[in-house]
Amino acid sequence: MHKFLGAAALVFAGSMVQASDMITYDTDQSFDDVTFGLESAITDAGLVIDSVSHTGEMLERTKADVGSDVKIFEHADIYSFCSAKISREVMEADPMNVVFCPYDIFVIVRPETPDVTTIGFRSYPDGAMKKVEALLDGIAKAAIAE
């Protein structure tokens, strides 16, 4: 058991944790296996990956430039994508839901827990955006075959 990114909730291996702003799953699968599973789950859902942000690499590469020597992640990537069908539904319900698009799922490994890969996404407000949350939850679970 460990604290996740300073959040108030604890993350338990193999279980869902919903902090006030995120839902995460921990697995003993490798980072590469989880990102492969995530790519497959996104495309299997008929969606297209818009971008992959290699956030961990950027933070590591620039840490000295910003006066730090802290290694935050062993690996950290963020996958961005959208669903035309669900996006239309949630934006017809409230056009301001545009702020949530595209949707992101992150995969990280922290230096203090190198054998734990975490996959997760932000939680969404009640109402129409819970459809997006359900989509992301299904994709995250499929990525780690849970």
Provide the pLDDT for residue 19: 52
Query: Which DSSP state fits 111?
Result: T
HSE on the CB side for 146, CA within 13 Å?
A: 21
Mean pLDDT of 87-108: 96
Alpha helices in the chain (DSSP H): 31-44, 55-62, 84-93, 130-143
Residue carrying structure tokens 């955006």: 129
CATH architecture designation of domain 21-143: 2-Layer Sandwich (3.30)
Cβ atoms of 40 and 145 within 8 Å: the answer is no
113-143 pLDDT per residue, tens: 999 999 999 999 999 999 999 999 999 999 9
Domain spans, the chain: 21-143
Per-residue pLDDT at 5 exceeds 70: no
| pTM of this structure | 0.85
64-74 pLDDT per residue, tens: 999 999 999 99
| Lowest-pLDDT choice from 14-18, 86-90, 92-96, 110-114 | 14-18
Q: Which residues fall within 8 angstroms of residue 14, CB to CB, at 6 or more apart? A: 25, 26, 27, 146
